[in-house]
Homo-oligomer: A and B are copies of this chain.
Amino acid sequence: MTDLAGPVAVIGTGLLGTSVALACRASGLDVLLDDLSAEHLRTATGLGAGRPLRAEDRPRLVVVATPPRHLGEAVAAALSDHPDAFVTDVGSVKAAPLRVVVDVDGVDRYVGSHPMAGSERSGPLAASAALFDGRPWAVTPHAAARPDAIEAITRLARVCGAVPVVLDPEDHDLAVARTSHLPHLAAVLVAGRLAGAPSAHLALSGQGVRDVTRVAASDPVMWQQILGANSAAVLGLLGEVQKDLARLIEAVAGGDDDALGDILARGNAGTAAIPGKHGGPSTPTASVFVSVPDHPGELARLFGDAGDIGVNIEDVHIDHDPGRPVGLTELVVEAARADHLLEALESRGWTTHR
């Protein structure tokens, strides 16, 4: 099915590189692997991700998947080592590595990219051909990039099952600062205020605080590098949030309901701005809550019943229940179908509410 021309060389066989390699292999492409770590390379080839890159190989596409630090240098080396190949990288920031390569010979063959996927695990053993399935994959051409290079990287994203989103490198870095780095840091600050709190306080934790802080559990070392490489965009947004926070404090301290209402309403508007499923506008959803006994098989029975009823579940949240072996499960469904689901579940003996 692929019209991407191989062989594809993957430099760096960690989680992302090996996953790209496996996805390319699954599309029948010849894949060549390289890594400073002989052990990673052996593991990746053992997984069927490709064969070791040799000096005489002539890849048509090189994917640089080395750690964020020194990414630009690795891209420059790939452009010089493989003068016939298009080159991309899969790092999570894009302007910083471009600055390193912008004056390098052959930079017109380079187009950066960034798959919006990851895992709390790392290394080739955590890799999967399905890692990028349905995820956005930013493709970030610079001004001098060749159109056929852009086309090749866009095809790579599709071969990996991802959805290409084309935007320029600076724009990309602003976008991830807003949709990834800022939410991450806000979660870290809120979670930081939970550390050391009395256990009687923490006992009142509901689903809200769990959702807000979930991403703060990620690897600090990786985030040091990401934030370091995108510090300008992150600092711009943190400065805006600092002003918003000062206004919020002033509104709460002064009992200024109008100002507070404006801030809260802007939050409403922001949640509504996140694109809906399948990239379309958000369809209104509603939640149906169901009490589910906390042992294997009960969720299956619930989803089986929902399937029989014919209502599609858009999202699910299971409330961690601090005191009893019953989970409160929130089924998010199209708003127009919620009443039907609720009544049909009740008629099958489930305890529900909205």
Contacts and interface: CB of A to CB of B under 8 A. Distances in A.
A349 interface: no
A128 B342 CA distance: 12
A266 interface: yes
A188, A196, A215, A265 pick with most chain B CB within 10 angstroms: A188
A161 B72 CA distance: 58
Given A252-B227, A260-B227, A206 B179 contact: yes
B134 A202 contact: no
Interface in A13-35: 19
A23 to B, nearest CB: 11
A80 to B, nearest CB: 29
A273 B187 contact: no
29 contacts: A19-B353, A116-B206, A126-B353, A126-B354, A127-B353, A134-B327, A165-B200, A179-B204, A180-B204, A180-B209, A188-B264, A189-B267, A191-B267, A192-B244, A192-B270, A194-B274, A202-B275, A216-B271, A224-B264, A231-B252, A231-B253, A238-B248, A241-B245, A278-B322, A299-B303, A301-B307, A314-B320, A316-B316, A317-B317
A352 interface: yes
A228, A261, A264 pick with most chain B CB within 10 angstroms: A264
Interface residues of A, number: 146
Interface string A197-213: 11111111110111111
Nearest to A200: B167
B318 A318 contact: no
A217 B271 contact: yes
Chain A binding surface SS class? helix
A267 to B, nearest CB: 3
B191 A270 contact: yes
A141 B123 CA distance: 53
A310 B299 CA distance: 12
A294 to B, nearest CB: 7
A286 to B, nearest CB: 8
A200 B220 contact: no
B183 A208 contact: yes
Given A136-B203, A183-B209, A193 B231 contact: no
Contact of A128 (B133, B274, B354): B354
Interface in A313-354: 313-328, 351-354
Nearest to A266: B192
Interface string A220-234: 110110011001001
A130 interface: yes
Contacts of A211: 211-212, 214-215
A103 interface: no
A295 B273 CA distance: 25
A126, A260, A353 pick with most chain B CB within 10 angstroms: A353
A289 interface: yes
